[in-house]
Structure 1
Amino acid sequence: MCNLYTVRQSAAEVAAHFGVPNPLQTNAPAEVYPGTPGMVVREEDGVRLLQSMVWGFPLRLKDMKPASKPKPVNNIADLKKPMWVGLARKPQWRCLIPMTHFAEAEGQKGKMTRTWFSVKDEPIFAWAGLWRVSDEWGPVYSGVMTDANEAVRPAHDRMPVLVHRDEYDQWLNGGFEDALAFQLRVFPPEFIEMEKTSELWFKRKTVEPETATLL
């Protein structure tokens, strides 16, 4: 499950990578947590747009108090589930999530550290996602997950669905069967670089991220 990733490039650099003609400044931070803003690339009338959205679809559980904040569903386990299938079938609700690294937690509980993953020779890469407009948080997005390849599996059994540069249009505009094929395939492990660190997963001087949910 992906609960933390980075975008350590400017909005202008991200826009250039994804072919966005008129980039706008965003309020997305370099480190993105569930329930916080992140940069998203989508298409409208054949033109790619870069905008800030909240990472995670709001979900209100049955046992939650009326005043409680919804939980951000930031990972998509199965595109065929009722919560996702209607959006996944319609290309206008698909998006690309720019990333420079994604992280997994490793180690003992309370002392977990961050292990970072990136794509070789790609300073920016894309995670396949879905988006919609919510009543609670406005535009929101979530990322599609798949089984981990050999490079990621030592840290976690799931990983983001990563999209190659020459596949961006296929994810954004392809049919439903194309979208399902992305989730079922194995991303080549030889393209993944791993960096183990001593960084604590929860940093004391930052706001603790929302508890994320995968559906």
Structure 2
Amino acid sequence: MTSLYRLDAPATAIAAAFAAEAGDDPWSGDYVAPARPAPVIVSDGRGGARRFLRPKLWGVPPPPRGDRPVTHVRNLASPFWIGTLRHAELRCLIPATAFAEWSGPAGARRQQWFSIPSQPIFAFAGIHRDGEDWPCFAMLTTDPNRLVGQYQPHAMPVILHPDQHATWLSSEWRDAVAVAASFPAQLMTVTDSPPM
């Protein structure tokens, strides 16, 4: 599963790409790994009309028997996630410019970086939480498309098309869950290093 992505754009450019208010987010561009902060896009909870850039940590608190923060949402019917997923105000967009997967045999594993040439800044579907130990988020995953599957056969992040952003942020769950699908492989590229 994806445990590293890049967001190589400043907060002002990210906010402009998603019609969001940047506020005083200090993000200037960097990599993101679990337990590191990154900006996400949240809506105002009233039909998603207003969007805001908010810094949060990657990884939500674990379930009762867990011992590590949870960074990915794979089972969308899980009782642990369903309450969050059904509330549009708890869904978010996770901006990114590329994401990494590791491939190859043990001892010779290499990073492969995936990006979307037509979307210099794209968005993963995510959920976010506040009011616990820290403001946090997790990304949704789905079955890999044929390109990602060559390197990571188990899962890939749910990447949203721009016209799906509003659906993810504000629609009823039965409509929002329909966008949680594999992104078309032909719209993606893969390289040995992150695109700059």
2:153 aligned with 1:153, yes or no?
no
Shift of 1:179: 2.4
**Is the alpha carbon distance of 1:147 and 1:94 closer, same or farther for their aligned partners in structure 2, counting shifts above 3 Å?**
same
2:52 aligned with 1:49, yes or no?
yes
Q: Which residue matches 1:190?
A: 186
Q: Which residue matches 1:81?
A: 78
Check whether the contact 1:58–1:134 (CA below 8 A) recurs between aligned residues.
no
Check whether the contact 2:40–2:55 (CA below 8 A) recurs between aligned residues.
yes
Shift of 1:21: 3.2
Structure 1 SS opposite 2:165: helix
Distance 2:109 2:121 in 1: 26
The amino acid across from 2:58 in the alignment is W
**Is the alpha carbon distance of 1:154 and 1:92 closer, same or farther for their aligned partners in structure 2, counting shifts above 3 Å?**
same
2:183 aligned with 1:180, yes or no?
no
Cα deviation per residue 1:128-177 (whole Å; 9 max; x = unaligned)?
000112532x2110000000001111011211111111111011011111
TM-score, normalising length: structure 1: 0.82
Matches within 5 A, 1:20-169: 20-26=20-26, 30-44=30-44, 45=46, 46-59=49-62, 62=65, 70-136=67-133, 138-157=134-153, 158-169=155-166
**Is the alpha carbon distance of 1:61 and 1:89 closer, same or farther for their aligned partners in structure 2, counting shifts above 3 Å?**
closer
Structure 2 SS opposite 1:57: coil
Shift of 1:121: 1.8
Cα deviation per residue 1:167-215 (whole Å; 9 max; x = unaligned)?
11011011111222122x3321111111124xxxxxxxxxxxxxxxxxx
Report percent identity of matched pairs.
32
Q: Which residue matches 1:4?
A: 4
Q: Which is greater in Rg?
A: 1
Distance 2:125 2:28 in 1: 18
**Is the alpha carbon distance of 1:3 and 1:154 closer, same or farther for their aligned partners in structure 2, counting shifts above 3 Å?**
same
Higher strand residue share:
1
Distance 1:26 1:106 in 2: 33
Shift of 1:47: 1.2
Structure 2 runs not aligned, ≥5 long: none
Shift of 1:110: 4.1
Distance 1:3 1:174 in 2: 28
Shift of 1:22: 4.3
Distance 2:173 2:82 in 1: 9
Check whether the contact 1:134–1:140 (CA below 8 A) recurs between aligned residues.
no
**Runs of 4+ deviating beyond 6 Å:** none
Cα deviation per residue 1:93-122 (whole Å; 9 max; x = unaligned)?
000000000100122334422100011221
